[in-house]
Structure 1
Amino acid sequence: MTHRFRLRVYYEDTDFGGIVYYANYLKFIERARSEWVRELGLDQRAMKAEAGTVFAVRRIAAEYLSPARFDDLLDVETEVLSARPARMTLRQRVLRDGAVLFDSEVELVAIGPSGRPVRLPEALRARGAPPPA
């Protein structure tokens, strides 16, 4: 399953030259992950309020391939590469007109109130995990 999230590059996302500032790609993929989780039926505010569970990025590897510019229309693709009980690895790419501008691998963990890893919510494991081989 690949989730797609569309966004436009605003002036605030760019540097003086009109090119997207490198750290903003991390914001773009964060927005896409939040929308993906929402579309899976998970309410992150309720998760935190009811069980104290939040998601945290444990590791990220990113490759900047080509710049995005002011007013570009971008797509962020999110797909599950692997899932374990308390963590999952996602591939997230930022594209413009089908060309990959940014490619990343993100490892997420579920963290409980104690700050220790806890099981991912069932809805995420069930819907987000790739089918068995």
Structure 2
Amino acid sequence: MHRWPVRVYYEDTDLAGIVYYANYLRFIERARTEWIREVGIDQTRLKEVEGAVFAVRRVEADYLSPARFDDALTVTTAPLRLTPARIELDQQVLRSDRVLFAARVTLACLGPDMRPRRLPAGLAAALSELMRN
């Protein structure tokens, strides 16, 4: 499981002083990018060489408890399922051990024509190995 720290800034909050709901999506997007980088995938190279990019196809989100200005949070990312053209992830935003936000995210692999395509073989192999461990 990948862990990525994030601090809540004033700009992340709404009039009530809690994290604006859409900003949780920004937090988990950044954590996914760092997870992909840690797995060893260079997304710029993936696009240039393989012609492949990722797009969010689906997000199921549960807002469980609010985060507030200056909170130190952790975003976790764990792969759940891999298909030939999709990656399904479990992501959570936590303050200490308390889950504030939980999401199941489905990423689709797209080709240069923005149509679904199979994950490049090397990427699929790396992700499969990661899921076995």
Q: What is the TM-score with the length of structure 1 in the denominator? A: 0.92
- 2:62 and 2:18 map into 1 onto residues whose CA distance is 16
Structure 2: segments with no counterpart, 5+ residues? none
| Residue matched to 1:131 | 132
Give deviations 1:62-105, integer Å, cap 9, x for gaps: 00000000000000111111101110110000000110000100
State the Cα distance separating 1:53 from its structure 2 match: 1.2
State the Cα distance separating 1:48 from its structure 2 match: 1.6
State the Cα distance separating 1:123 from its structure 2 match: 4.6
Task: Give percent identity, aligned residues only.
Answer: 58
Matched, 1:117 2:112: no
Going from structure 1 to structure 2, the CA distance change for 1:121 and 1:32 (only over 3 Å counts) comes to farther
Equivalences for 1:84-95 in 2 at 5 Å? Answer: 84-95=83-94
Number of aligned residue pairs: 131
SS at match of 2:68: coil
Amino acid in the other structure paired with 2:38: E
State the Cα distance separating 1:118 from its structure 2 match: 1.5
Alignment root-mean-square deviation, CA: 1.5
Q: Which has more helix, going by share of residues?
A: 2
Contact 1:41-1:123 at 8 Å conserved across structures: no
Contact 2:50-2:120 at 8 Å conserved across structures: no
Q: What is the TM-score with the length of structure 2 in the denominator? A: 0.92
Contact 1:76-1:92 at 8 Å conserved across structures: yes
- 2:83 and 2:43 map into 1 onto residues whose CA distance is 19
Amino acid in the other structure paired with 2:54: F
Matched, 1:108 2:107: yes
